[in-house]
C-alpha cells in the first residue's frame, strides 16, 4: 500500500510538472501534425488524402518514439542535475518501483502522442476495419521500449543537452531503419540486419498489420520480441543505475 | 564473568541507534573515507566536523544509501543499512546540503509529495504539512512556488520535508551553510527541539561554533580519518592543560606582577594591556584569596572569568588546520555567523 501511494504520487507529480505543461502538450500535437503534412506533400507535388491511412503506422510509431525518449531522458537528467531525483532515490521504495513510476508517465505521454495522428486522420479518411486492440497493444509496446531507450540515455547523460544529443543519435537513424516510411526491403542489404536489432521495427510492423493489413512478421512473434527487448532494456537500465547513480 | 560483561556491553549498546564500523570509500586513486568507526546514541545530536573534502558528505551518503561503501558496516536501528538500505531509509529523514525540492511546486505540495514517498496517506500528510509550515513560520509562503523562496526559507522547507514522516533519525548535511544569521539561529533551535522530542540528529558541518552549541557528541574527520571523537567537554579536556582565570582590574597591574607572582606561587601570572591579569595553574584557582589580596592593595576587580578553550581551539590543535583556513572555508560556504 505504501509503495502504491509513492508510485501514484511520483506518476502524478511527473504528469503535472512535466507532461501537462503547455509546451509539451503543443509538442505532442504539433510534431505529429507537421510530420503528417510533410509526408502528404513530400514528393507527389500535392496533398493526397488517400495516403493518410498508409502513413498512420509510421507517424504513430514516430510520435511515440520522439515523445517518450525526449521526455524521459530530459526530465530525469533535469531532476538529477537539480538533485531532486536524489529525493526519489532516498525514498523507502524499491528502485524498480521508482523506475516503473518514472517510465509510466512517459509511456502515457507516448500513447497520447500516438493517437494525435489518428484523431487528425479521422477527419479525412475512413478508419473502419482497423484492429484497435492490436493498435493499442503495439502502441503500448513501442511506448515501453522507447521509454526504456530514453531511460538508458538518461542514465548515461549528465546534462540535459547531452541527453538531447544522445536521443537524436538514436532516433533519427531509427526513422529510416525501422520501416516507418521506407519498407525495410528497400534498404541496402547491409543495413537490414541493423533494422532487426531495433524494437521499433517490430512495433511498426505490428501497427502496419493492424491498420493497413500488411506486415512482414507474425504479430505474436513481434509481441514476444518486444517483450524480450523490454525485459533486457529494463535489466540493463537497473544495472546501469546501480553502477552509475550509487557510486 | 565474561557473560556479565557481554550483557553489560549489550545494555550499553541498546541505546546506540547507529553503529558505523570500519567504513571505507575508495575511488580509483583516492580514499575518501578510510576505515572510520563511531556510534550514535538514541536521541542525541551527533556532529561530524571537518574541512571541505574531509569525507563528511561521502560518509553521510554511504549512511543514507546514496553511495556504496567499499568496506565496513553500517547498522541503523538494528538494520544492516548496507544490505537493506530501503528498510533503513523508512526511519531516516534526510536534509541534503543543497535544497532538492521541486522548484515548480509550491511549499505545501512539496511537503505533501515528500510525505507520499514514505507512504503517508492524503489526509495525514496534508495535516502534517500544514503543521510543519506553521512550525517553520512558512504558512504564508505555503502556496508560493519553491523557486520564489529565499535561501533561508528554502533550507527550512527542506528540513520540514525531511521530517514530514517523523523519522527516528535525521541526517543533515551542512544545514546552516549559506543562510542568514536569523535562519541559522532558527535552525539550531529546531535541532534542539527535535532532540527534545527524542529524534536522533546526525549533522555534518564546518561551522565549529554550531557544533559546540548543539552537539552531544562530535567527531572530527580529516583526510577521511576520524582524528578525534567525544563529547564537547571530553574534547576540551583532551587539549586543555590546567585552568586559566582572567581578571580586569581598575588599574594597570604590571608594576605589581612580581609581587602577585610571589603571593600566588601556584599560578603563573601574566599581566597585559587594558588592565588585564591572567592566572594559569595546574590546579583549580580559588578566586577569593586573589580578590582579597588585590582589595588589600586598594585595587578593584571589575571582571573575573575562567578561560576555557573553544572547540575551534581543540579542532586546530588536533587537526593542525589553522583557524585562518577554516575562516576561508566558511566564506566559501557563505557567511552566516
Model confidence pLDDT, tens digit, residues B63-120: 999 999 999 999 999 999 999 999 999 999 999 988 889 999 999 999 999 999 999 9
Q: Would you state the pLDDT for residue B10?
A: 44
Work out the average pLDDT over B40-63.
Answer: 92
Sheet containing B16-27: give its strands across.
B30-41, B16-27, B71-76, B79-80
Q: Check residues B100 and B331 and name the one with the higher pLDDT.
A: B100
Question: Taking 60 as the threshold, does the pLDDT of residue B5 lie above it?
Answer: no
Of residues B265 and A61, the one with the higher pLDDT is: A61
Amino acid B12: pLDDT: 44
Q: Given CB atoms, is A246 within the 8 Å cutoff of chain B? A: yes
Cβ neighbours of residue B215 under 8 Å, at least 6 residues apart?
B45, B46, B47, B203, B232
What confidence tens digit (pLDDT) does each residue in A152-166 have? Answer: 888 888 777 887 788
Residue of chain A whose Cα is closest to the Cα of B91: A92
User: What's the pLDDT score for residue A123?
Assistant: 84
Mean pLDDT confidence for B282-292: 82
Give mean pLDDT, residues A1-19: 91
Q: Is the pLDDT of residue B213 over 80?
A: yes
Q: For chain A, what is the mean pLDDT?
A: 87
The predicted pLDDT at position A229 comes to: 96
pLDDT value of residue B116: 96
CB contact under 8 A, A93 and B117: yes
Domain ranges of chain B: 2-91+168-237, 241-307
Contact B66 A91 (CB under 8 A): no
Residue of chain A whose Cα is closest to the Cα of B85: A92
Q: Give yes or no for A96 touching B (CB within 8 A).
A: no
Residues A210-230 have a mean pLDDT of 93
Residue pair B138/B157 in contact by the 8 Å Cβ criterion: yes
Could you report the per-residue pLDDT of A40-91, keeping only the tens digit for each?
Answer: 676 555 656 667 788 889 889 998 998 888 888 888 888 888 888 999 999 9
Measured between CA atoms, the residue of chain A closest to residue B97 is A83
Kindly state the percentage of chain A with pLDDT values over 70: 96
Mean pLDDT over all residues of chain B? 85
Considering the entire predicted model, what is its pTM?
A: 0.81
pLDDT (0 to 100) of residue B337: 36
Task: Please compute the mean of the pLDDT values over residues B149-158 and round it to a whole number.
Answer: 91
* Contacting residues of B for A94, CB less than 8 Å apart: 86
Examine the pLDDT at B156 and tell me if it is beyond 80: yes
Closest partner CB to B94 (pick from A2, A3, A90): A90
* Topology of domain B2-91+168-237, CATH: Rossmann fold (3.40.50)
pLDDT at A126 over 90: no
User: Is residue A82 within 8 angstroms of chain B, CB to CB?
Assistant: yes
If pLDDT is split at 50, 70 and 90, which confidence band does B325 have? low
Structure confidence at residue A201 (pLDDT) = 94
Residue of B nearest to A247 (CA): B67
Q: What is the pLDDT of residue B334?
A: 43
Question: Lowest-pLDDT range, B31-35, B192-196, B243-247?
Answer: B243-247
Verify whether the Cβ–Cβ distance B96 to A83 is below 8 Å: yes
CATH among 3.60.40.10, 3.30.70.100, 3.40.50.300, 3.40.50.970 for B241-307: 3.30.70.100
Cross-chain residue pair B66–A90, CB shorter than 8 Å: yes
User: Count of CB contacts below 8 A, A vs B?
Assistant: 67
- Judged by CB atoms closer than 8 Å, whether chains meet at A13 and B113 is answered as yes
Cβ–Cβ contact B77 with A under 8 A: no
Whether A86 sits inside 8 A of B96 (CB atoms) is yes
Arithmetic mean of pLDDT, B170-184: 86
> Cα–Cα–Cα angle for B87, B100, A163, nearest 5°?
100
Does any CB of chain A come closer than 8 Å to the CB of residue B118? yes
ipTM: 0.85
pLDDT tens readout for residues A86-109: 999 999 999 999 999 999 999 999
pLDDT-wise least confident of A32-41, A210-219, A231-240, B128-137: A32-41
- The pLDDT of residue B134 is 93
A44 reaches B (C-beta below 8 A)? no
Report pLDDT for B83.
Answer: 93
- B90 to chain A, any CB pair closer than 8 A? The answer is yes
> What was the pLDDT predicted at A209?
93
Give A70 or B221, the one with higher predicted confidence.
Answer: B221
Which range, of A45-49, B155-159, B307-311, averages the lowest pLDDT?
A: A45-49
Shortest CA distance to B161 belongs to which of B133, B186, B124, B203? B133
Q: Domain residues of chain A, as ranges?
A: 2-245
Mean pLDDT within A147-156? 89
3-state secondary structure chain B: CHHHHHHHHHHHHCCEEEEEEEEEEEECCEEEEEEEEEEEECCCEEEEECCCCCCHHHHHHHHHCCCCCCEEEEEECCEECCCCHHHHHCCEEEECCCCCCCCCCEHHHHHHHHHHHCCCCHHHHHHHHHHHHHHCCCHHHCCCEHHHCCHHHHHHHHHHHHHCCCCCEEEEECCCCCCCHHHHHHHHHHHHHHHHCCCEEEEEECCHHHHHHHCCEEEEEECCEEEEEEEHHHHHHHHCCCEEEEEEECCCCHHHHHHHHHHCCCCEEEEECCCEEEEEECCCCCHHHHHHHHHHCCCCEEEEEEECCCHHHHHHHHHCCCHHHHHHHHHHHCCCC
Radius of gyration of chain A (CA): 18
Query: Residue B327's pLDDT is what?
Result: 59
Amino acid at each position: 500500500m505504501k509503495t502504491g501511494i509513492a508510485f501514484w504520487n511520483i506518476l502524478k507529480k511527473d504528469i503535472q510538472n512535466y507532461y501537462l505543461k503547455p509546451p509539451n502538450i503543443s509538442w505532442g500535437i504539433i510534431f505529429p501534425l507537421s510530420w503528417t503534412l510533410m509526408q502528404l506533400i513530400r514528393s507527389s507535388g500535392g496533398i493526397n488524402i488517400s495516403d493518410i491511412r498508409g502513413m498512420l503506422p509510421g507517424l504513430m510509431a514516430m510520435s511515440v518514439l520522439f515523445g517518450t525518449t525526449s521526455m524521459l531522458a530530459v526530465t530525469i537528467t533535469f531532476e538529477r542535475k537539480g538533485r531532486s531525483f536524489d529525493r526519489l532515490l532516498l525514498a523507502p521504495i524499491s528502485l524498480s518501483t521508482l523506475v516503473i513510476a518514472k517510465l509510466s508517465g512517459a509511456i502515457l505521454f507516448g500513447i497520447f502522442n500516438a493517437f494525435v495522428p489518428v484523431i487528425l486522420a479521422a477527419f479525412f479518411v475512413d478508419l473502419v476495419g482497423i484492429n484497435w486492440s492490436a493498435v493499442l497493444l503495439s502502441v503500448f509496446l513501442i511506448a515501453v521500449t522507447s521509454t526504456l531507450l530514453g531511460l538508458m540515455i538518461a542514465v548515461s547523460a549528465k546534462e540535459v543537452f547531452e541527453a538531447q544529443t544522445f536521443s537524436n543519435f538514436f532516433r533519427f537513424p531509427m526513422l529510416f531503419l525501422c520501416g516507418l516510411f521506407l519498407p525495410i526491403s528497400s534498404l541496402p542489404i547491409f543495413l537490414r540486419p541493423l533494422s532487426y536489432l531495433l524494437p521499433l521495427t517490430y512495433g511498426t510492423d505490428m501497427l502496419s498489420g493492424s491498420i493497413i493489413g500488411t506486415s512482414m512478421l507474425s504479430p505474436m512473434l513481434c509481441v514476444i520480441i518486444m517483450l524480450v527487448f523490454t525485459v533486457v532494456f529494463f535489466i540493463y537500465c537497473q544495472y546501469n543505475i546501480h553502477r552509475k547513480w550509487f557510486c | 564473568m565474561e557473560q556479565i560483561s557481554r550483557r553489560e556491553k549489550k545494555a550499553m549498546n541498546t541505546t546506540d541507534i547507529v553503529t558505523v564500523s570500519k567504513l571505507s570509500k575508495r575511488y580509483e586513486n583516492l580514499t575518501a573515507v578510510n576505515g572510520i568507526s563511531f556510534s550514535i546514541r538514541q536521541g542525541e545530536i551527533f556532529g561530524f566536523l571537518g574541512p571541505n573534502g574531509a569525507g563528511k558528505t561521502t560518509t553521510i551518503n554511504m549512511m543514507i544509501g546514496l553511495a556504496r561503501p567499499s568496506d565496513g558496516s553500517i547498522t541503523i536501528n538494528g538494520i544492516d543499512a548496507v544490505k537493506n538500505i530501503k528498510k533503513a531509509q523508512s526511519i531516516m529523514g534526510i536534509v541534503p546540503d543543497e535544497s532538492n525540492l521541486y522548484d515548480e511546486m509550491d511549499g505545501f505540495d512539496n511537503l505533501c509529495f515528500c510525505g507520499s514517498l514514505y507512504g503517508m496517506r492524503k489526509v495525514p500528510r496534508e495535516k502534517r504539512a500544514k503543521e510543519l509550515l506553521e512550525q517553520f513560520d512558512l504558512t504564508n509562503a505555503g502556496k508560493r512556488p519553491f523557486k520564489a523562496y529565499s535561501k533561508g526559507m528554502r533550507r527550512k522547507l527542506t528540513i520540514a520535508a525531511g521530517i514530514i514522516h517523523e523519522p527516528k533519525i535525521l541526517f543533515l548535511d551542512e544545514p546552516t551553510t549559506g543562510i542568514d544569521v536569523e535562519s541559522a539561529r532558527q535552525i539550531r533551535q529546531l535541532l534542539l527541539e527535535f532532540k527534545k522530542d527524542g529524534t536522533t540528529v546526525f549533522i555534518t558541518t564546518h561551522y565549529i561554533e554550531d557544533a559546540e552549541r548543539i552537539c552531544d557528541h562530535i567527531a572530527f574527520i580529516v583526510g577521511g580519518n576520524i582524528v578525534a571523537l567525544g563529547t564537547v567537554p571530553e574534547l576540551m579536556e583532551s587539549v586543555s592543560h590546567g585552568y586559566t582565570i582572567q581578571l580586569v582590574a581598575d588599574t594597570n597591574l604590571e608594576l605589581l606582577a612580581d609581587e602577585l607572582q610571589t603571593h600566588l606561587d601556584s599560578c603563573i601570572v601574566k599581566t597585559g594591556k587594558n588592565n588585564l591579569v591572567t592566572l594559569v595553574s595546574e590546579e583549580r584557582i580559588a578566586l577569593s584569596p586573589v580578590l582579597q589580596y588585590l582589595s588589600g592593595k586598594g585595587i578593584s576587580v571589575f571582571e573575573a572569568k575562567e578561560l576555557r578553550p573553544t572547540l575551534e581551539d581543540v579542532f586546530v590543535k588536533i587537526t593542525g588546520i589553522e583557524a585562518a583556513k577554516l575562516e576561508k572555508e566558511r566564506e566559501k560556504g557563505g557567511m552566516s555567523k
